[in-house]
Amino acid sequence: MTRLVIFCTLLLVGQSLAIKKSRVRKFPDNFIFGASTAAYQIEGGWNDDGKGLSIWDVATHMEPSPIIDASTGDVAADSYHLYKRDVEMMKELGLHFYRFSVSWTRILPNGFSNQINQAGLDYYNRLIDEMLKNNIMPFLTIYHWDLPHKLQQLGGWANPNIVDWFTNYAKVLFDNFGDRVKMWITINEPKQICYEGYGSTSKAPMLNYTGVAEYLCSKNVLLAHANVYKLYDEKYRETQNGSIGISISCTWMHPVSDSYDDHQAALDARQFDWGQYAHPIFSKDGDYPKELKLNIGLKSAEQGYRKSRLPLLSTKEVALIHGSSDFFGVNTYTTKLAYRDPSVDGMYPIPSYMDDMSAILIKDDSWPQAQSTWLQEVPWGFYNLLIDIKRRYNNPKVYITENGWSTSGGLVDEDRVRYYRNYLNALLDAVENGCNIKGYTAWSLMDNFEWMRGYTERFGLYEVDFSSPQRTRTPRMSALVYKEIIRTNTLDPTYEPENDIAL
């Protein structure tokens, strides 16, 4: 008898644990879901109808190719021609919005606004109108990395004149699309533009001038963003009545141990990775984080520079940048471990961004690994990130503007389904703890040109057959699961799509 009671108790405990784990959870009432892409990664049509060259057209046509599979975005998913099918997919998924970017040189072939390419405007007008016809809200990113080559020849983001060039370009978009587009991102991922593009070789223009170039870039990106925000605020907001913000890529950096030094290392790493861009905009007082100014200032002096390699912001510039966003666009994928180890001083080149940061970043092999080496699944890191943003920046309005998982391909993407569920579950924990998160965007609507990794890493909810002339798009299991999450506005971990379900 006692045995039976114990057995039954165990059974009940086991069941309630299972219920907790498989709890069906609701998203807030006005929560919105979308999916994201970027122009160069999907459009193709690289020299169609008067489009000018961007730094990615130039990089992908270099010989030998810097792209791992020697591929290009010349055709990519061919969305320049297949945008109607793209909108059909959005509709199939039940998306509330679609985040896409505009190709600067499709609109302004030479980068400057004296010559506007009507065919470029026509393309985005068709896309936007098709979305609106289907009740999908356009969420437009003004700049997602495809800088006009002509402007790069003048130094690109290292030239302070880019503030004007970018503002003039943005004005053309507000004038032509602002009647219908109400959600705007100025710039996608400043750290990737500046560090990966100017401080290393992992993105175009592959300048590899670390310790100097990424900090020149950083200041100009912040000023360009803020100037465009101001333009919208002063000239367009009243009549067009939209929202405008920035998307910052944030990796959660977690201390390896509880020691003071490791905590400090993780903090430094976060301040270099995203605080560099978020603090000037979202913190109470604005300006660069003190860790950034201190580290780079001290190292620069030690190294014999007359001024800090980090160009400081004037009081006027601090004021212009401060508060220049209606919301915080968070792009996030993964977590890294950080620690301090003075004995490895000199492991990074001097000067360099990594040496300035002086934290060592590693992976934890026990975390699930994606096809991309840098990407591991760590949902609690996502939760920590959201709580940190809430505390540090006074609970700003947040849109997750990118989040996703890579595989090598295939329709039965169980690991992507698991990733999305676990990350959305962590997001709901953050919402329960007071985070002001308004929406979520999956990266990506479909497979696309994954920059230096070409077509070897797939992020799509839809698989794209890059060998077929029609670039056939097929929903993966994750697409069916995401569709159900959106349809019900709930996360139900037990939901299993039928294999032969027709979208």
Instruction: Please report, as ranges, the residues that interact with ligand GBH according to CB under 6 A.
Output: 38, 188-189, 192, 202, 249, 331, 333, 374, 402, 443, 450, 459
Sheet holding 252-255, edge to edge: 252-255, 335-339, 360-362
Q: Which is nearer to ligand GBH, 106 or 453 (CB)?
A: 453
What are the angstrom distances between the C-alpha of 68 and each of 8, 57, 76, 370, 452?
58, 15, 15, 17, 6
Closest approach, Cβ 361 to ligand GBH, in A, equals 10
Q: Which is nearer to ligand GBH, 218 or 331 (CB)?
A: 331
Which three-class secondary structure state does DSSP give residue 53? Answer: coil
Q: Exposure pattern of 301-320 as b/e (b: 16+ CB <10 Å)? A: eeeeeeebbbbebeeebbeb
Closest approach, Cβ 460 to ligand GBH, in A, equals 10
177, 139 contact by CB (below 8 A): no
Amino acid at 168: N
Q: Which of 130, 402, 463, 484 is catalytic?
A: 402
Of 409, 456, 371, 443, nearest to 101 by C-alpha is: 443
Q: Which of 43, 189, 291, 463 is catalytic?
A: 189
Q: Which residues contact 335 (CB under 8 A, 6 or more apart)?
A: 251, 252, 253, 254, 367, 376, 378, 380, 381, 382, 384
- Which residues are bridge partners to 331 per DSSP? 249, 402
Closest approach, Cβ 145 to ligand GBH, in A, equals 7
Which three-class secondary structure state does DSSP give residue 94? Answer: coil
Q: Which is nearer to ligand GBH, 202 or 240 (CB)?
A: 202
Closest approach, Cβ 100 to ligand GBH, in A, equals 12
HSE-up (13 A, CA, CB side) for residue 465? 10
Q: Which is nearer to ligand GBH, 343 or 408 (CB)?
A: 408
Handedness of CA 199, 285, 383, 248 (dihedral sign): negative
Give dist(CA 39, CA 42) in Å, integer. Answer: 6
Q: Which is nearer to ligand GBH, 198 or 333 (CB)?
A: 333
Closest approach, Cβ 179 to ligand GBH, in A, equals 27
Does the annotation count 498 as an active-site position? no
Closest approach, Cβ 192 to ligand GBH, in A, equals 5
Q: Can you give the C-alpha Rg of the chain in angstroms?
A: 23
Active site residues: 189, 402
